[in-house]
């Protein structure tokens, strides 16, 4: 079936052939649990864990591979960071662009009376002004949760000054890098990030069911894990594992997923970021130009491509986002996502509630075949009388 996949913000597709080959080989030839036995195949699995941690640590400039915990998804990593770091009585600031995997755990804690929560607004295109965050600080502010880029608008936020502000004020800085990991450089040390959570199956290029959580050394010590269980070591003790990353990795890990993250991240590290990024920004402008030809289509983005990952949202004056997505799928085999994109707050500021937006997301680059399909769709939509 021919398909033109433009939902890379949900999960990347297709995966690299070497990623798929390594996963298949692992399942056929190895298949052992890591950190449990010392026989040959268990050692191969343990080696894959090391490879994944080393590659991800390099990608985000973490101080050591051991600061990377391997998780089941971005949501898993964010819940671990939030649930394991916040103490009752704390004040938390989160931005309006956050995904529900940040907002829902925080809102639940607020409803249970455990925390005070303030949401920082964004502007009509999804930009969060750091000055607004500063104004929300209270004496008991413990955590700032901030997405590196919105999964609705794709706009990249400024992290460095926020990290510095958090440091100066003793506030834990949690960054959701779901939409930027693998697409734009991230330096957790230079940006002063305490926790960085990301899926492994989007820009990183791993398979579904993967993610990771970086924790800065000081946070590794104070973190109280959400889950405890077997870790393959000190089995005589009923005291949970104390050392990061094992303290947040109880139970058997998703080894095929970890193999995929290792191979995909190593591939990213072999190519210069700058070239990949330049291509992504260029393709974003191309997509924006193409879509701006459709009468009645309002693009939720300004023209500076440097501020965006490969995500572009829009609304049409005649069609709902859901209708337009259905037309693109049925008539042009273009697969895009419509709706609120699991982001409860941002649409209030974008003025796109309750229908949400139509979101195009191309990942690292726009495939020429996809451009061809888009051109046909744009031509057809241009005939609609608006
Ligand atoms: C900004 C953002 N944060 C978190 C997530 C959750 O990631 P996962 O789907 O791996 O749980 C997503 C997924 O779309 C996202 O876009």
Its pTM stands at: 0.97
The pLDDT assigned to 206 comes to 98
Neighbours of 43 (CB within 10 A): 13
- Report the separation in Å between the CA atom of 204 and the middle of ligand 1, taken as the mean of its atom positions: 13
Q: Using one digit for the tens of pLDDT, what is the confidence trace for 220-249?
A: 999 999 999 988 888 898 888 789 999 999
- Confidence bin at 176 (pLDDT 50/70/90): very high
Domains with residue ranges and CATH for the chain? 4-14+272-381 (3.90.1150.10), 17-270 (3.40.640.10)
* Whether pLDDT at 384 is above 90: no
Q: Are strands 211-215 and 68-71 parallel, antiparallel or unpaired?
A: antiparallel
- Report the separation in Å between the CA atom of 203 and the middle of ligand 1, taken as the mean of its atom positions: 11
Is the separation of the CB atoms in 143 and 114 below 8 Å? no
65: nearest Cα among 81, 79, 78, 48:
48
Task: Establish whether residue 211 lines the binding site of ligand 1, counting it when its CB lies within 6 angstroms of any ligand atom.
Answer: yes
Task: Establish whether residue 178 lines the binding site of ligand 1, counting it when its CB lies within 6 angstroms of any ligand atom.
Answer: yes
Mean pLDDT across 186-215: 98
Residue among 70, 99, 156 to mutate when testing ligand 1 (max atoms within 8 A of CB): 99
Task: Establish whether residue 147 lines the binding site of ligand 1, counting it when its CB lies within 6 angstroms of any ligand atom.
Answer: yes
Task: Establish whether residue 179 lines the binding site of ligand 1, counting it when its CB lies within 6 angstroms of any ligand atom.
Answer: yes
258-12-66 Cα angle (round to 5): 30
How far, in Å, are 52, 113, 143 from residue 109 at the CA level?
32, 6, 13
- Confidence bin at 330 (pLDDT 50/70/90): very high
Task: Establish whether residue 151 lines the binding site of ligand 1, counting it when its CB lies within 6 angstroms of any ligand atom.
Answer: yes
Residue among 70, 178, 340 to mutate when testing ligand 1 (max atoms within 8 A of CB): 178
Helix pair 100-111, 74-85: axis angle to 10 deg: 30
* Whether pLDDT at 42 is above 80: yes
343: nearest Cα among 148, 136, 74, 102:
102
């Amino acid at each position: 079936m021919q398909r033109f996949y433009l939902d890379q913000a949900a999960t990347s597709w297709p995966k690299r052939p070497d990623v798929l080959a390594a996963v298949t080989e692992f399942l056929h030839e190895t298949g052992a649990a890591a950190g449990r036995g010392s026989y040959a195949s268990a050692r191969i699995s343990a080696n894959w864990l090391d490879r994944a941690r080393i590659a991800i640590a390099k990608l985000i400039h973490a101080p050591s591979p051991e600061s990377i915990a391997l998780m089941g998804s971005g949501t898993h990593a964010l819940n671990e960071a939030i649930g394991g770091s916040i103490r009752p009585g704390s004040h938390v600031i989160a931005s309006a662009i956050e995904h529900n995997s940040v907002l829902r755990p925080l809102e639940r804690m607020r409803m249970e009376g455990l925390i005070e929560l303030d949401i920082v607004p964004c502007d009509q295109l999804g930009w969060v002004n750091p000055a607004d965050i500063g104004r929300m600080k209270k004496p008991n502010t413990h955590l700032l949760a901030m997405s590196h880029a919105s999964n609705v608008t794709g706009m990249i936020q400024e992290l460095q000054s926020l990290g510095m502000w958090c440091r100066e004020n003793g506030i834990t800085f949690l960054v959701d890098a779901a939409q930027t990991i693998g697409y734009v450089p991230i330096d957790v040390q230079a940006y002063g990030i305490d926790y960085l959570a990301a899926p492994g199956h989007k820009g990183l290029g791993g398979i579904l069911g993967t993610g990771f959580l970086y924790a800065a050394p000081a946070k590794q010590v104070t973190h109280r894990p959400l889950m405890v269980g077997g870790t393959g070591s000190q089995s005589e003790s009923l005291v949970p594992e104390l050392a990061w990353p094992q303290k947040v990795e109880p139970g058997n890990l998703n080894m095929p997923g970890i193999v995929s993250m290792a191979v995909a991240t190593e591939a990213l590290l072999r190519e210069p970021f700058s070239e990949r990024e330049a291509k992504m920004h260029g393709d974003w402008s191309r997509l924006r130009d193409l879509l701006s030809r459709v009468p009645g289509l309002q693009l939720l983005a300004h023209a500076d491509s440097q501020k965006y990952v490969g995500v572009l949202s829009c609304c049409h004056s005649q069609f709902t986002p859901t209708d337009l997505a259905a037309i693109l799928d049925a008539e042009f085999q273009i697969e895009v996502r419509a709706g609120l994109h699991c982001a409860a707050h941002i649409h209030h500021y974008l003025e796109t509630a309750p229908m949400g937006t139509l979101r195009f997301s191309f990942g690292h680059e726009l495939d020429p075949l996809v451009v061809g399909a888009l051109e046909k769709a744009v031509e057809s939509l241009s005939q609609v009388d608006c």
